[in-house]
Each structure stands twice: as C-alpha cells, then as structure tokens.
C-alpha cells in the first residue's frame, strides 16, 4: 500500500514537471516569433501598389487579379515566423515549390514594375522572400498548416472565367474614352478612368503593347483613341521608346518608332588595388547578382566606414547604393535600386584568403537604428565600436557622396564596355545621368 502511494506521488510530480516544461517551451515559441515583415531586410511596402500576381501550390498555378493579389499580400505580410533565421544561406535555389509572385507598380507613374516573391518549401515550414535585388534569409513558419490551407483555399475558390486579351483591352479603351465628353485632353480621360487604365497593365505589358501597336499598324489609332494608346504605349515601352519628339501626332509617333533592343552588359567589376574595397565590391555585387532574375547589369557604390580585424576575422561596415540597369540604344533604365547599411564579416582561411562569413543588413522601419547598433561590434570579441553607429546614421541622412560615386562607377563601366553615349532620365524627363556631362569629357 505504501509502495503504491509512493509511486503515484512521483508520477504526479513528474507530470507537473512535464507540464511546466511544455508551458515554458510554448511561451518561448510565442516570444521568439514575429511578423515576417519585421525580419526581412527590405521593406514590403511596395505591395501596397500590387497590381497582380501568380500563386503556385503543388504545381498548380493561379493568376491573381488586383483585388485577390492585395488580399493574398496582406495575409502573407502578417504571417508569423521565427525571429532568428535558420541559416545564413541566401541561395535563390532554396526550396520554393510553393510560391506567390507579386508584381507592383512603380511610384510617380513611372511605368516601371517590381517583383516580390514569397517562397515556401514543400510543407510550408520554411519561408524566404526575394525582391529581385537581394533575397532574404530563411525563417521557420509558426503555423505552416494554416498557410497551406490558405494556399489550397485560393485554388479551390471559384475563379472568373478567363477573358480574351483583345476584348479586355478594347473594352478598357472604350471605357476610358467614354468621359468626360467635354474635354479634349487625353490625360483627363485617363484620370477619370484609372481602374480601366490600370487594367491594361495587368497583362504584363507585352500582350497589351502588341495589341495597340497592331492597331497603329492597321490605322485604328485616330483622334482621342490614338492619343490614349500613344500614352499607354510610351509608358509600357519605357526606355525602349526611341522617339523623343513630344509634338508628333499618334500616327507620326508610331511611324517614327524603332523599338530599342537591349544591349547586354556584364556586372560592374572593381579594378582598384585596395584590398578592403575589393572585398566590399565583390560581396555587394555578388549579393545582388545572385538574386537577379530580370536581367540587366549591376552597379554598386559603397561608403566604407571602417574595417576591424581580430584574430582570423575581418568586419567591414558600409552603406551601399546598389542598382540594376538596362541599356536600350543610348537610353538607360534603372530597373531597381536600394541604399542600405550593412556589416560584412570575413574569415581568413589557411591560405590567408578572406572567405565571406556573414552579411548583416540594416532592417527597415523602427528596427533600422537598433539593427545597426546591434551589428556595430568587433568581429571576434563582440565589443561595441564607439561612435560607429552615429557615423552610419549621420551619413544616411545625407548620402550625396554615394550618389555621385554611383554615377562615376556607371560612367567607368559604360566606357569600359565601349558605350560612349548613354542617358538616364527620371519619370518627368529630367536628366539624372549622361555620359556627355562636362565632368566626363576628356
């Protein structure tokens, strides 16, 4: 009898201990998770301008219209993941069997678009995000089953029947031209029908562009219809448009059009002798080019705040302007770019060569300053480097030097590859860069 009671007593004690351990574990999981938008190193705010997308789930593909893409992007931005990455791997060939690809519009009516990819492994337990500039690290998903059910629901929900692209574009054009009847300004018609105008861009440009160019070829581009189609075509063509004369009629514009073909150039290569600069340039070019799925060439312009070496570890602190360009004829197009502080740590191997160990980038939003403070430490002892945080933050408030360096590096790269006449303009037509600037003349 005593033995029976004693056994039961220890079973109760053991059960209490197990319960406490499980409770602590669950609490730790809750504490160590956060929204994915808080851990990826770049902002997800461009998804506020999402226009459409594609969802892939177990080899099934679903196109997302603007409303559905907005719904899916809002959901994915809020999913909970581990605060710490599972590794330092940024390989773009990581698990992405389940994926949502979002396309968003640029700002200020530039006509440019951007991409953001949410990538999940087979069982949705791991996620990483890519913005075509620099992929994020991978993180554990808190509730993978819920994400999987969400993907499955998108595919099983009733979708509208597909529509013919010619019909859709034509219908949108008719709606745009319907009002205001009293106006002769094509931009006022576009402003009054922004939804129809935006709808034309949902076909990734090429289908819509080809349809309207065919209409010009057939002579179906007169009066207001021609004016609106010319505005659309110019925006879709971007830097591919060779016609600069704004006084031409729509048909005259089309007859003068000779679409620029892209001139392919390699990524920038540092050709200086400074060991630290070479390490930085190689690392920054490598980080951006590894995730470049959209073509073009990469230029970087780093500001180096200092390098610190302890034992076999070297840590370099930088703020880098990274940009991806395309060249059409003598017209440059900046396809994407970012200016981000980072800490790059190298390990010296047995051959005295430096091997990239970790790449830590400043986070976005409220975590920007704290994340920089966190990595401004010595590579081995982890001691704080006094004054470094202030130097980086003060420079970020006025980084004119790296804007100048970007243009200088762009000029050097173009000259090295035999390009002597190239110009980059903003969305309002103002010249940002030209190889013909006085400072670049012999």
CATH number, domain containing residue 141: 2.60.40
Spatial distance between the Cα atoms of 130 and 279, rounded to a whole number of angstroms:
24
Confidence of residue 1 (pLDDT cuts 50, 70, 90): very low
Confidence of residue 217 (pLDDT cuts 50, 70, 90): very high
Same domain, 107 and 232: no
Owning domain of residue 238 = 165-257
Same domain, 45 and 143: yes
Distance, CA of 409 to chain centre? 22
Query: Could you report how far apart the first and last alpha carbons of the chain are, in Å?
Result: 104
321-355 core/surface letters (b: 16 or more CB in 10 A; e: else):
bbbbbbbbbbbbbbbbbbbbbbbbbbeeeeeeebe
Spatial distance between the Cα atoms of 413 and 29, rounded to a whole number of angstroms:
49
Same domain, 341 and 401: yes
Same domain, 391 and 411: yes
Give start and end residues of each alpha helix (H) in 292-439. 368-375, 388-396, 400-416
Same domain, 49 and 141: yes
Distance, CA of 196 to chain centre? 26
3-state secondary structure at position 378: coil
pLDDT of 165 reads 44
pLDDT higher than threshold 60 for residue 10:
no
The CB-side HSE value for 402 (13 A sphere, CA atoms) comes to 24
Spatial distance between the Cα atoms of 332 and 411, rounded to a whole number of angstroms:
12
Same domain, 51 and 83: yes
Same domain, 18 and 109: no
Instruction: Give pLDDT tens digits for 107-139.
Output: 544 456 788 999 999 999 999 999 888 888 899
Beta partners for 340?
320
pLDDT higher than threshold 90 for residue 343:
yes
Spatial distance between the Cα atoms of 258 and 253, rounded to a whole number of angstroms:
10
pLDDT higher than threshold 50 for residue 27:
no
245-254, 292-301, 425-434: which is most confident = 245-254
Where does a domain end: 103, 121, 156? 156
Where does a domain end: 156, 179, 194? 156
Look up residue 119 and give its two tokens: 């990538």
Same domain, 138 and 283: no
Strands 431-434 and 423-425: antiparallel
pLDDT of 30 reads 45
pLDDT higher than threshold 90 for residue 295:
no
3-state secondary structure at position 305: strand
Same domain, 129 and 81: yes
pLDDT higher than threshold 80 for residue 283:
yes
pLDDT > 70: what percent of the chain? 88
Same domain, 59 and 138: yes
SS3 content of the chain, % helix, strand, coil (to 5): 40, 25, 35
Short-list 116, 141, 129, CA closest to 64: 116
Beta partners for 315?
308, 345
Where does a domain end: 257, 283, 298? 257
pLDDT of 18 reads 56
Same domain, 306 and 353: yes
Same domain, 143 and 170: no
Domain total in the chain: 4
């Amino acid at each position: 009898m005593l033995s029976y009671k004693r056994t039961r007593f220890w079973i109760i004690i053991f059960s209490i201990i197990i319960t406490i351990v499980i409770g602590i574990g669950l609490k730790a999981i809750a504490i160590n998770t956060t929204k994915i938008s808080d851990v990826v190193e770049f902002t997800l705010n461009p998804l506020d301008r999402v226009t459409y997308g594609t969802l892939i789930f177990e080899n099934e593909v679903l196109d997302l219209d603007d409303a559905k893409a907005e719904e899916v992007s809002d959901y994915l931005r809020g999913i909970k993941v581990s605060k710490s990455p599972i590794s330092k791997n940024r390989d773009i060939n990581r698990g992405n069997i389940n994926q949502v690809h979002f396309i968003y519009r640029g700002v200020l009516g530039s006509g440019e678009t951007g991409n953001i990819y949410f990538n999940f492994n087979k069982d949705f337990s791991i996620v990483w995000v890519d913005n075509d500039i620099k992929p994020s690290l991978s993180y554990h998903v808190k509730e993978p089953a819920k994400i999987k059910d969400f993907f499955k629901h998108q595919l099983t929900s009733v979708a509208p029947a597909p529509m013919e692209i010619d019909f859709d574009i034509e219908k949108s054009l008719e709606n745009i031209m319907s009002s205001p009847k009293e106006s002769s300004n094509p931009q006022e018609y576009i402003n009054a029908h922004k939804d129809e105008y935006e709808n034309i861009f949902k076909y990734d440009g090429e289908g819509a562009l080809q349809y309207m160019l065919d209409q010009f070829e057939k002579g179906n581009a007169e009066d207001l219809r021609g004016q609106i189609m010319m505005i659309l075509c110019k925006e879709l063509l971007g830097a591919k448009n060779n016609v600069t004369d704004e006084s031409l009629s729509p048909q005259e514009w089309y007859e003068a059009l000779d679409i620029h073909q892209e001139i392919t150039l390699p990524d920038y290569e540092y050709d200086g002798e400074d060991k630290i600069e070479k390490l930085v340039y190689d690392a920054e070019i490598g980080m951006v080019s590894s995730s470049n799925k959209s073509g073009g060439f990469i230029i970087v312009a780093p500001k180096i705040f200092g390098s610190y070496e302890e034992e076999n570890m070297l840590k370099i602190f930088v703020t880098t302007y990274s940009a991806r360009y395309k060249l059409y004829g003598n017209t440059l197009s900046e396809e994407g770019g970012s200016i981000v502080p980072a800490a790059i740590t190298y390990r010296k191997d047995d051959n005295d060569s430096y091997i990239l160990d970790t790449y830590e980038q400043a986070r976005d939003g409220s975590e920007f300053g704290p994340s920089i403070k966190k990595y401004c430490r010595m590579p081995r002892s982890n001691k704080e480097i006094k004054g470094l945080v202030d130097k980086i933050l003060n420079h970020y408030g006025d980084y004119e030097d790296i804007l100048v360096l970007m243009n200088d590096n762009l000029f050097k790269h173009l000259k090295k590859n035999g390009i002597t006449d190239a110009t980059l303009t903003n969305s309002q037509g103002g010249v940002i860069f030209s190889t013909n600037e006085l400072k670049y003349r012999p």
